[in-house]
Amino acid sequence: MTDEASIAVEDRPRAKDLRGPVAEVRVPASVGNLGAGFDCFGLALQLYLTVRATVDPQSLQPCRIRSRGEGHGTILPPTADNLIIRAMNLAAQKHGLILPPMCIDAENEIPLSSGLGSSAAAIIAGITLCVALCDHEIPAELVLRYATELEGHSDNVAASLLGGWVVTCTGQDGSVIAVKKHWPPDIRLLVVTPHATLETARARAALSTQVSHAAAVHNLQRAALFSAALEERRYDLLWEATRDRLHQERRQTLVPGLADALATPRQPGLLGLALSGAGPSVLALAQDRFDELGVAIAQCFQRVGIETTVRLLDVDDAGLQIKRF
């Protein structure tokens, strides 16, 4: 990424009515960690949050919010606690902008508290809507910095913004370094989501504040191996490269059936297995036998009375999409 990188807005003719500018964003879901890449690997998925904001000059309210789909009334409440609104307000405050009164319509496909980056998508949506509606430009580096400030880590927000597989690092000055790398299109993502939410704060609280030297070396080796295996198309190495000692063991006890799901044995078609972000979704890197693999992982939850949703997803390589009408 360079200093010239910024949020691009596609201009379209505006309707001739009493409304003001209209901006729409589509932001992909994401998975973080990918096994050993704790808080540094992020991958965008073809599952989306779509938000349209319409300036309403005649409104007496700062914002009217309508939402449908996943998270209605929670991550997308019709109040100032809405994460999209909080992100818009943060960007406006940082740049001395005044947000106009508006109506927001959100349609969300991303399940909440499931390790699929729902909050990261909402944050990216809010910051970029502020950019579009205020006719302002914010470098992508600042978008990532603001988003990381709200989210607490950079892997999901970087993937939602840039698309594809992204490797991130937070600098000592708080800046976020993000490098987008090639993801092989022949590796698909099988995501098994138990119908049991796991709040990120609870998942974070389960982690130890200190790690052993052996655990740190274990993850460093496998994070490096993960990158090398993809670059050299050594997919046989991904099983070892997704082994983790920093977070999965502590988090797998938070939801019944999760430990068994993560212990699914190696089998044809299954390249790697990991907790999706903070969980409780389980992420399988796979090339074939998708139905059989989905059933095998889902049964681990079903045996303890928890239903699941199984999604076979491809990687979203485009990232954030913005239109202005």
User: Any idea how long the chain is?
Assistant: 325
- Rounded distance between C-alpha atoms, residue 274 and residue 270, angstroms: 11
Angle between helices 155-162 and 118-133 (to 10 degrees): 50
Omega within 30 of 0 (cis) for the link into 101? no
| Residue 197 DSSP SS3 | coil
Residue recorded with tokens 């044809």: 268
What CATH number matches the domain at 188-313, 3.30.70.890, 1.10.3720.10, 3.40.718.10, 3.40.50.2300? 3.30.70.890
Q: pLDDT 10s per residue in the chain (325 long)?
A: 433 344 444 444 444 455 678 999 999 999 999 999 999 999 999 999 999 999 988 877 888 888 888 865 554 555 556 899 999 999 999 999 999 999 999 999 999 989 999 999 999 999 999 999 998 999 999 999 999 999 999 999 999 999 999 999 998 888 999 999 999 999 999 999 999 877 777 877 887 888 999 999 999 999 999 999 999 999 999 999 999 999 998 888 889 999 999 999 999 999 999 999 988 999 999 999 999 999 999 999 999 999 999 999 999 999 999 998 8
Q: What is the b/e burial string over 11-32, where b = at least 16 CB atoms within 10 angstroms of the residue's CB?
A: eeeeeeeebbbbbbbbbbbbbb
Give domain limits for the chain: 10-181+316-324, 188-313
Q: What is the model's pLDDT at position 11? A: 42
Q: What is the model's pLDDT at position 218? A: 97
Q: What is the model's pLDDT at position 209? A: 85
DSSP E strands, 159-292: 165-170, 176-181, 188-194, 270-275, 282-286
* Nearest alpha-carbon partner for 121 in 207, 28, 38: 28
Q: What is the model's pLDDT at position 182? A: 95
- Rounded distance between C-alpha atoms, residue 160 and residue 51, angstroms: 14
Which residues, at least 6 apart from 191, have a Cβ–Cβ distance to it below 8 Å? 31, 45, 116, 276, 281, 282, 283, 284, 310, 311, 312, 313
Q: What is the model's pLDDT at position 18? A: 57
Q: What is the model's pLDDT at position 76? A: 53
Indicate the residue type of 299.
Q
Lookup: tokens for 274: 């990991």
CB atoms under 10 Å from CB of 1, counted, come to: 15
Q: What is the model's pLDDT at position 73? A: 52
Q: What is the model's pLDDT at position 180? A: 97
Q: What is the model's pLDDT at position 35? A: 95
Burial class of residue 78, CB neighbours in 10 A (0-12, 13-18, 19+): middle
Domain 10-181+316-324 is of which CATH architecture?
A: 2-Layer Sandwich (3.30)
Q: What is the model's pLDDT at position 301? A: 96
Q: Do 10-181+316-324 and 188-313 fold alike per CATH?
A: no
